[in-house]
Structure 1
Amino acid sequence: MSAAQPSRALVLGLARSGRAAVSALRRGGVAVAAHDSDTGLDIGHVDADVQLGEWDDRLLGDVGLVVKSPGVPAEAAPVVAARNAGIPVISEIELGARLLPNPIVGITGTNGKTTTTALLGAILEAAGRPVEVAGNIGRPLTSLVGTSDPSAWVVCELSSFQLEDIDTLRPHVAVLVNLEPDHVDRHGTFDAYAAAKLRAFENQTADDTAVVPRGFPAVPGNGRRLEFSADDPLPAEPRIPGAHNRENAAAATAAARAIGVPDEAIAHALVAFPGVEHRIEPVAEVRGVRYVNDSKATNVAAARRALAAFAGSPKHVILGGRGKAEPYAPLAAVFEGSDRAYVIGEAAPELATALRAARVHVTEAGDLERAVRAAADAARPGDVVLLSPACASFDQFRDFEHRGEEFRRLVAKLAR
């Protein structure tokens, strides 16, 4: 890790990234304590001194480093206690960057970063380069420690929650796909959210590349600036639909060229890449109606992009969940005359108010099952039933994947 490697570390949060961090630290001979507030967590395979439930400051003991999972906010009691005690607090992503020798491509932004990350991984594979895809895409960066080819490129999706607590992370290529309001409920302001995102660039030197949207203001660090836009000439047209996905393809192409990938390999991947789960994912066609899973659209900007991808088709849009302190009027404004909305979850009343103000037909369905049933009853051949919630999932589901899987199950039930 470094000359200052601690003899004992504390890991906060024991979901995927926390467990991977424990394993990576133990692989390096570091003793590990861990804390999670979930008293029902199965900790049978966690190689650490684990405390569940209420936090106890005594767990800090002789800890020399705290590794924070992305779901743990800065104001959580263990984080505050560690910082008050002068103990460094870093993210799981920062730990991975310290432990891995691999060159890293860091991809961040508000919407499209998962698609861009997966697409760039596919481009590198098409070029015959060893590559690992990790980070916020679902595979913790620290899970690669001791298990991956040290020469492999690591394409790493970076969330604002992960970037809050970096120190030395320095992507050889850092990509900002776009920057729009999101997670204001966690960061407090858009400016704080944007500052967290832009930390991906802060440690870059003149030997590195900063890939940003055309015309975007200056970013931190000293990386060589490379710009892209949705209307860039590409080696091939991407298979995945929508103007926003052409923007993602342009970002991935710019990053691949910065690494030295030839256009032939880029073209092959653009044509072959099918997209990612839960992002404008075709599920089925039932009695002439298309059903599309866009559960990963957890903010207004993402949902607007999904509606734009089906412009001209009558849409039955399922919206709602846990809101992120965003206004919904900009979303209501992109509904077309024949579109209908079905609102669910905690944000349903606020969504219904904004949509009705824009003269959108609204059904207050309450939950996903009733929304799918109501949309299916109203839809006609040629229509699209689109799950694009514009909200987080945590009021009724474990995560956006769980929500998308439930949508698929309900559509399969319709098909039967």
Structure 2
Amino acid sequence: SAFRPECAVLLNVEEDHLDRHGDVAAYREAKLRIFANQGPGDHALDPTATAAETSVTGGVLSVRGEPLLALDEIRLRGAHILENARAAALAARATGVPAEAVALALRKFAGVAHRLEEVATVDGVLYVNDSKATNVASAVKGIEAFEGGVHAILGGSLKGGGFAGLRDAVEARCRACHLIGEAQERLAADLAGAAPLLRAGGLEEAVARASEAALPGEVVLLSPACASYDAFRDYEERGEHFRALVRGLE
């Protein structure tokens, strides 16, 4: 039978997987298929619906006019977390989850592996595994989750798009970028002048160089903006290897 979700949520559509879909229009069409088989009584929540049915006023998140919790009770970092929280809260309330349970879940949620996962602080430097950031939009969110002093590790296998969308975040927040993998040269071309760009022979060399350069209070961030298939089975294996390298610094 056809897939028909009772509630479907679309957070955004950013350039990705062009190697598979060919162009952004085809990729967008594929994403929108999540709503294709829904019928009366089902909930189709796109960014317009989320913006219309949730709000943030005075530091409080509300859904359909009902206050849920204060933003400072949400444990995760990054402005994009609020977008996710608004959509998740709306989906839960739309499908009958009590407001108290939604608020409790948002308070307790500590994130998932490989997405802005804080691995360790070594000699005052925070090491963050954001291996799940396999496209430019996700990597921008990862970099912008920090005020500055970011030593970003970027690169991996190419997916058909460019990296110019990283420029503003890199220029504003990164002290250096360590480039790895198949995408090195394209990254170097697209980010020229935005920050010091240092080519590395692999993740091991990138972590070693970043750890040598980073000062207390700064961040070494694996947020590749690329897939991992040039060197790893998947983004999870890449993130696990990053974790192991960081543990070796302790």
TM-score, length basis structure 2: 0.91
Residue type of the alignment partner of 1:243: A
Give the match for residue 208 of structure 1: 42
1:193 corresponds to which of 1, 18, 27: 27
Whole-angstrom distance in 2 between the partners of 1:330 and 1:172: 34
Q: Which runs of 4+ in 1 moved over 6 A?
A: none
Tell me if 1:354 matches 2:222.
Answer: no
2:89 corresponds to which of 253, 262, 281: 253
Residue type of the alignment partner of 1:367: G
Give the match for residue 377 of structure 1: 212
SS of 2:249's equivalent in the other structure is helix
Whole-angstrom distance in 2 between the partners of 1:338 and 1:251: 29
Whole-angstrom distance in 1 between the partners of 2:130 and 2:216: 20
In the alignment, is the contact (CA less than 8 A) between 1:317 and 1:387 conserved in 2?
Answer: yes
Give the match for residue 405 of structure 1: 240
Work out which structure has the larger RCO, using CA pairs closer than 8 Å and 6 or more positions apart in sequence: 2
Give the match for residue 5 of structure 1: none
Deviations 1:28-50 (A, max 9, x none): xxxxxxxxxxxxxxxxxxxxxxx
SS of 1:389's equivalent in the other structure is coil
Give the match for residue 392 of structure 1: 227
Whole-angstrom distance in 1 between the partners of 2:191 and 2:25: 27
In the alignment, is the contact (CA less than 8 A) between 1:231 and 1:247 conserved in 2?
Answer: no
Q: 1:6-405 residue pairs with structure 2 within 5 A?
A: 98=1, 168-214=2-48, 226-228=49-51, 232=56, 233-234=61-62, 235-236=68-69, 237=71, 238-310=74-146, 312-335=147-170, 336=172, 339-356=175-192, 358-405=193-240
Q: Which runs of 5+ in 1 are unaligned?
A: 1-97, 99-167, 215-225
Q: Alpha-carbon deviation of 1:231?
A: 5.4
Change (3 A) 1:262 1:368: same
Whole-angstrom distance in 2 between the partners of 1:208 and 1:239: 31
Residue type of the alignment partner of 2:12: N
Q: Alpha-carbon deviation of 1:243?
A: 1.1
TM-score, length basis structure 1: 0.55
- The number of residues matched between the two structures is 236
Q: Alpha-carbon deviation of 1:338?
A: 5.3
Whole-angstrom distance in 1 between the partners of 2:185 and 2:14: 24
In the alignment, is the contact (CA less than 8 A) between 2:116 and 2:130 conserved in 1?
Answer: yes
Change (3 A) 1:266 1:385: same
Whole-angstrom distance in 1 between the partners of 2:162 and 2:214: 28
Whole-angstrom distance in 1 between the partners of 2:173 and 2:118: 23
Q: Which has the larger radius of gyration?
A: 1
Whole-angstrom distance in 2 between the partners of 1:333 and 1:375: 21
Residue type of the alignment partner of 2:229: F
In the alignment, is the contact (CA less than 8 A) between 1:344 and 1:364 conserved in 2?
Answer: yes
Identity of counterpart residues, as a percentage? Answer: 51
SS of 1:342's equivalent in the other structure is strand
Give the match for residue 125 of structure 1: none
SS of 1:228's equivalent in the other structure is helix
Whole-angstrom distance in 1 between the partners of 2:107 and 2:143: 23
Q: Alpha-carbon deviation of 1:366?
A: 2.1
Change (3 A) 1:256 1:395: same
In the alignment, is the contact (CA less than 8 A) between 1:172 and 1:204 conserved in 2?
Answer: yes
Whole-angstrom distance in 2 between the partners of 1:337 and 1:281: 18
Change (3 A) 1:383 1:323: same
Whole-angstrom distance in 1 between the partners of 2:217 and 2:191: 23
In the alignment, is the contact (CA less than 8 A) between 1:211 and 1:228 conserved in 2?
Answer: no
Whole-angstrom distance in 1 between the partners of 2:190 and 2:15: 18
Whole-angstrom distance in 1 between the partners of 2:50 and 2:81: 16
Q: Alpha-carbon deviation of 1:228?
A: 3.4
